[in-house]
Amino acid sequence: GFQSAEGAVFRPSSSYMRFLGGCRVRASCIMTLGIFLYSFYELSSVIIRIVLLGYIPLRHSPNTAMAWLLAIYFWPWMGFLLYAALGSTALPSERIRRHESLLQTLGEKKHAFPKIPDDDSNWLPEDLTRFGALGKKLGDMSITTGNSFTLIDEAEEFLKLLCADLENAGHSVHLLFYIFARDAMTQPLFDALERAAARGVTCRVLVDAVGSKPFLKNDAKYLSERGIRVEEALPSGLLRRTPTMARYDLRNHRKIAVIDGRIGYTGSHNAIEPSYGGKAKGRLWRDLTLRLEGPVVSQLQGVFLEDWYVETREMLFSEETFPKPERTGNSVIQTVPSGPSYPWQNYQRLVVAALHGAKQRVVITTPYLIPDDELLHAMETAVLSDVRLQLVIPEKSDQLLVGSAAKAYFDELLAMGVEIYLFQQDILHSKTMSIDYDLAFLGTSNFDIRSFALNFELNLVLYGTGETAAIRMIQEKYIAASRRLTAEEWAESPGAMRVVHGVTKLFSPLL
C-alpha cells in the first residue's frame, strides 16, 4: 500500500495485483519470444551464408556470384529471398519444350510456307562473310540481300508511318512491344488497328507483361472488344512460377511490327509518347527505328511468330504469313535474336567479335552501360590497336542505380582512352554501334549485362558502306548534341559520389 499526505493508507485490490502479475508474465513471454526470434535469425543467417557460399559460385560467373554473395552477406534473409526469386536464369521446362516443339514442327512442314532466301553473301569481304556466319550460328538467321530501309529518329514520325502502313494492311498486322500504351500520341495507332480489324485484317498484339502492365490492366479489353487479339508475354509473378515464366525480371524487350509479311519495323521505339508519361521530369526519349522492306522482313515475322507460339501454343506459319520475299533494294541486313532460350549470349558475342575486328573507328550509343569483363577487354583491345572508340550515353539517366553503376566504369574507360560523350537534356535511348565504315548494329539491346543475358532482344546487323553511313550519320547528330567528358573533369567529381558509384558497381551484375 501507500500513504497519502493526510495519513490515510491505501492498499491495492486483488484484481489490480492480478493485473500487475499478468503484465509481468506477458512481458516475460515477449522477452522470451524476442530472444528466440533473435537467436533464430542469427542462426539461420549463418546457415544461409554458409549454404549459399557453396551453392551460388557453382551456378554463376565469378562477378555475378560475388555480387549475390555480397548482398547475402549484408542482408542474409532479404538476399536469400531475392536470390530465390531472381537468381536463376534457367527457363521453365515447358517453355523449352514449346520452343523445341516449334522447331520440330517447322522441320516437318517446310513446304507449308516459302523459305527465306539462302545466304548469298559470299561476295562480301572475307571478314564480313565470317562475321555473318557467326551471326547465323548464334541466331539461326542468314544474311539477307535485296532489302531497303528508312531510318526513323522521331517518335511522331515512327507512329505516323506505322499508322499509314496499318491503314493499307490487307491480311495481317503483328505487333510486339515491350511498352505499349494508349495516350494522345498513340491513339491514332489504336484507331488504325480498330479500322484494320473492322475490314477483316487479322490483328495480333503481343506485349510484355511488366513493361505494358498499365495497358493490360486498362486498355487491352478495349482492343479485344474490337476484334484485335491481345496476349501478354512472360506473365509475371515475383515469387510465382508459371509454365512459361521462371523469374520476374526476365522480360521480352523486343519491338517488332510486321504488316502483311512485307513491311517490318524494329528498333528502340516503344509504342508510347516520347516523355513516357513524364517519367524523367519531362525529358524526351530519343530513339532510332528501321522501317524495312525485303527478305529481312520474313526474319522479323519469324521472331514474332515464335514468341506468339511460345505464349499461346498457336502455330501461325503459312504462305499468308510468309509471302514470297521480293527484292526492294540493295541493302544487306541480318536479324539476330537473343535471350535466355539460346545457349549463348548472342548479341554480346557479336559485339565483342566486332570490337576485336575493328581497325579505325567505333561509335557506340546506349542509354545503359554496364559492361561485363569480356566487353571491357574487347574495348581495351580496340583502343590499344589504335582504334578510335567513342561512347555516347545520356548525362542524366532515368534509372538511378543503373546510371550510378555506369559512372563507376568511367575511370577505367577514360584510362583506356575511350572518348565518353554525355548526351544533353534528353534521354538517349538509341542502341547502335558502327564499326569502321562497313558494319553497323541497331536494335533493342542495351550494352549492359541485363540485355546480354536476361532479356529477349532483337538486333539487326547491317553490312556495307551505305548502310553503315546511314547509322553513322545519326550517331554524328548524337555526338554533336553531347559534351565530351575529360579525365581531368571526372577526377574532380565529388568523392562522396564516387563512393556511391563504387558501391553500386559491386551490384552491377544484378542490375
- Phi then psi for residue 200, to 5 deg, are 100, 5
Distance CA 460, CA 469 (A): 15
329, 339, 351: which is closest to 253 by C-alpha?
A: 339
Q: Has 356 been annotated as catalytic?
A: no
Exactly one of 269, 429, 501, 505 is catalytic; which is it?
Answer: 429
Taking CA atoms, 125 is separated from 359, 437, 438, 453, in Å, by 14, 13, 10, 30
- For the chain, what percentages of helix, strand and coil (3-state, to nearest 5) are there? 45, 20, 35
Exactly one of 165, 174, 219, 253 is catalytic; which is it?
Answer: 253
Q: Has 429 been annotated as catalytic?
A: yes
Taking CA atoms, 299 is separated from 10, 161, 321, 458, 494, in Å, by 94, 21, 11, 11, 49
Contacts of 428 (CB under 8 A, 6+ apart): 286, 365, 366, 367, 392, 393, 394, 478
Stated as kind and residue range, the H or E segment containing 335 is strand 331-338
Q: Has 253 been annotated as catalytic?
A: yes
Exactly one of 260, 372, 426, 438 is catalytic; which is it?
Answer: 260
Return the C-alpha cell found at 220: 487491352
Exactly one of 165, 174, 208, 255 is catalytic; which is it?
Answer: 255
Strand partners, 482: 423
Distance CA 369, CA 365 (A): 9
Q: Specify the DSSP class assigned to residue 118.
A: P
Exactly one of 165, 307, 436, 438 is catalytic; which is it?
Answer: 436
476, 494, 353, 498: which is closest to 423 by C-alpha?
A: 476
Q: Has 436 been annotated as catalytic?
A: yes
Return the C-alpha cell found at 473: 550519320
Taking CA atoms, 490 is separated from 229, 414, 485, 506, in Å, by 51, 9, 7, 20
Strand partners, 423: 394, 482
Distance CA 349, CA 366 (A): 17
Q: Has 255 been annotated as catalytic?
A: yes
Instruction: Tell me which residue has cell 487491352.
Output: 220
193, 172, 195, 469: which is closest to 300 by C-alpha?
A: 172
Catalytic center residues: 253, 255, 260, 429, 431, 436
